[in-house]
Every structure is written in C-alpha cells, then in structure tokens.
Amino acid sequence: MSNLRAKISRATNKKVPVLALVVVAMLGMVAGVLATNLVVTTTSSTGETGTYHTNSNSMTITDGGLGVVANSASPAVLTATFPATGSNANVTTVLTAGHWFDKVTFVDTVAGSTAHTATITVRNGTGPNGAPLAAPTFTLTDPTSVSTGTITAYVDLGTNTLNSPITVYVNVS
C-alpha cells in the first residue's frame, strides 16, 4: 500500500514540460478552426437527364423520378380508371424488391369513357438511344365526370444498378 502511495506522490510532483502544453494547445486551436469552417452541402437529384412527354389528349403528365422498390408486388396492374378529385389509382409492372423504379403521374380532366394507351419507355446509358430498361403499356380510362383524380404508374426497371444518364419517354394516345 505504501508503495502505491509513493508512486502516486512521485507522479503528482513531476512538472509537465511547457512545450507539451503548448503543443496540445496548438492542436486544440487547429481542430477548433477546422470544425468551425466545415460546411456540409447536400445535393438532391432525381437521377434523370430528361423526360419527353407526347400527348394527343387532355392529360397532364408528371415524372416523379426514380426510387428503389421496398416490397415486391405481383401481379402487374395494367389498367385503371381515373378516380374522383382528390383520389389516386395505381398501375404497376411486377415490382421486385431492390430494383429501381420510375414513378409517373397522370391527370385527365376530360370526362368520358375513352380508354387511352400510355407507354412509358425508360432507357439508360450513353449513345443516341441508350439501353432499354422497360417499356410497359398501360390502359388509362377517362373519369366518368370531370375530375382531377390521378393515376400513378410505378415501372420496375428490372435492375438494381443503373448507368447514367436515364431518359424517360411517355407517350399517350
């Protein structure tokens, strides 16, 4: 016990060299300056270089961008009728968890019973056309009364890796 007390007494009686204190203080100042000047900037992107819409009817088309499928869903739902204002219907290809998907929303404000064919073509990679990923065709039927209800299409791109750029073509007839 007395041996331990002697060691503690000797350790507390030693003087810390001034140079060591100066070095520690300088390192602290440098770390403080770096910490105060650090700026984090986030950049969000839909991952697409362009979307081309052709429409011979009364539809408004909005591309919601890319996402990753969280849960698989089967079978595909390829037809839908526009619902009442404030409601949404979905059309989908077969969805596989982990694959990329593209989300496209349609709004049709003309009442009737006309069935429209909507083809969404997705390509990726360079070159004039890029490599085709998906090109499903959906049947979208006019609402029975004037409405701003939406139909959202979820298109599985069939892969969990993509090459830039991604191009989406939407054709409604």
Q: What is the pLDDT of residues 2-52, one digit of tens each?
A: 676 666 666 555 665 656 666 777 777 776 666 665 555 554 544 555 556
Q: What is the DSSP letter of 16?
A: P
What is the reported pTM? Answer: 0.68
State how far the Cα of 82 lies from the Cα of 107, in Å rounded to an integer: 8
Most confident of 2-6, 52-56, 127-131: 127-131
Q: Tell me the fold of 50-172.
A: Immunoglobulin-like (2.60.40)
Alpha helix positions (H), the chain: 2-13, 18-37
Check: CB of residue 57 under 8 Å from CB of residue 110. yes
Q: What are the structural domain ranges in the chain?
A: 2-37, 50-172
Query: CB-hemisphere CA count at 13 Å for 85?
Result: 7
**Top-confidence residue, 54 or 113:** 113
Check: CB of residue 109 under 8 Å from CB of residue 57. no
Note the pLDDT tens digit of each residue in 73-108: 999 999 999 998 889 999 999 999 999 999 999 988
Tell me: pLDDT of 135 over 80.
yes
Band of residue 57 on the pLDDT scale cut at 50, 70, 90: low
Check: CB of residue 136 under 8 Å from CB of residue 119. yes
Per-residue pLDDT, 126: 76
Which helix (H) or strand (E) is 61 found in, with range? Answer: strand 59-68
Band of residue 1 on the pLDDT scale cut at 50, 70, 90: low
Tell me how crowded residue 25 is: count the other CB atoms within 10 A of its CB: 10
* Amino acid present at 166: I
